[in-house]
A and B are shown apart, each in its own frame.
Chain A
């Protein structure tokens, strides 16, 4: 079961009580959402410290505006939208800083990938670090779609709904993300990289 579905199940009994004004239920609801919101924010921002800030901001918003959740969509869909909006607001505020961070990430990621054979030469624990850096170097929209499709296992149609995009656009983003990420994974291994098509 995907993390989103697990969270949906985990908060099902808390949500009505929290909306009815039960403070303990509301607090517990926030605690259960925290990890997932953080991971969503991490994908959105590409930086653990910024993801912490965005996640805290989202929890504050959920605490204050939970009564605005009407129940028409899934709770996790609403929560994802709140997280996305918070991350967008954060991006606007930090635009100049982000540009610098993105440039640094873009500079670093290919360096990691351009080693002779980055994956083979790394200890397993470092593989995750390098691949995560490659992932964070993807454009934000590709990162978001890739995360939802490949990590969360959300169907393309549902991703399109969540992101207010055409399903074919979502598919295009997903393919671009896969191609970019996998090219970089294989980049340091000339024998395995994509051969030139004749």
Chain B
């Protein structure tokens, strides 16, 4: 084997070949050739440093930060609570003991009807854990506003 072939093979050789675990024609040449031996040594040194650098790399942030994040309530709770809220509102509308807005009353004085007022807590709307709920009536008896906050 000449040096040209050896240098070509050195670039792809398995580490086991370099350390003598596998006996090969390449290593026979390397043992006899100072230049090729130097090339192998250079590669071994650099790859050893790379291995140590990669194995020694450590995160700066603690795992506890991720654990805290994982424990925090997730944002899509509202989607899971939505069917419950809708069902509760429908039940309240159908079975409610009094209308949300009493049309028999004389018309309210002109403006302002600014913000909807909280209803009596007769609607069975349950807030998800860690949240509160407010239920507002509107001028339209078929519409109520449910606010989770």
Q: A178-B11, A193-B7, A197-B8 are in contact. Are A63 and B67 (CB under 8 A)?
A: yes
For B70, list chain A residues within 8 Å (CB).
59-60, 63-64
**B67 adjacent to A119 (CB under 8 Å):** no
Q: Does A91 contact B (CB under 8 A)?
A: no
**A48 adjacent to B8 (CB under 8 Å):** no
Pick the contact of B10 from A38, A51, A182, A189 — CB < 8 Å?
A182
**Do most interface residues of chain A lie in helix, strand or loop, or is the interface mixed?**
helix
**B54 adjacent to A147 (CB under 8 Å):** yes
For B58, list chain A residues within 8 Å (CB).
35, 38
For B7, list chain A residues within 8 Å (CB).
192-195
- Tell me the complex Cα distance, A30–B65, Å: 11
For B35, list chain A residues within 8 Å (CB).
191-192
Pick the contact of B57 from A38, A56, A194 — CB < 8 Å?
A38
Q: Does B81 contact A (CB under 8 A)?
A: no
Within 8 A of A (CB), among B43-78: 43, 45-47, 49-55, 57-67, 69-71
For A99, list chain B residues within 8 Å (CB).
none
Chain A interface (Cβ < 8 Å from any Cβ of B): 3, 27, 30-31, 33-35, 38-39, 42-43, 48, 51-52, 55-57, 59-60, 63-64, 119, 124, 127-129, 131-132, 135, 147, 150-151, 175, 178-179, 181-183, 185-186, 189, 191-198
Given contacts A135-B50, A181-B47, 16 further A-B contacts (CB under 8 A): A33-B63, A38-B57, A59-B66, A59-B67, A60-B69, A124-B49, A129-B53, A132-B50, A132-B53, A178-B13, A192-B7, A192-B35, A192-B38, A194-B4, A194-B11, A198-B4
User: What would 28 A/B residue contacts be, using CB atoms closer than 8 Å?
Assistant: A3-B55, A27-B64, A27-B67, A30-B67, A31-B63, A34-B59, A34-B62, A38-B59, A52-B60, A52-B61, A55-B59, A57-B66, A124-B49, A128-B49, A132-B54, A135-B50, A135-B54, A150-B47, A151-B51, A151-B54, A182-B43, A185-B42, A185-B47, A186-B43, A189-B39, A194-B7, A197-B4, A197-B8
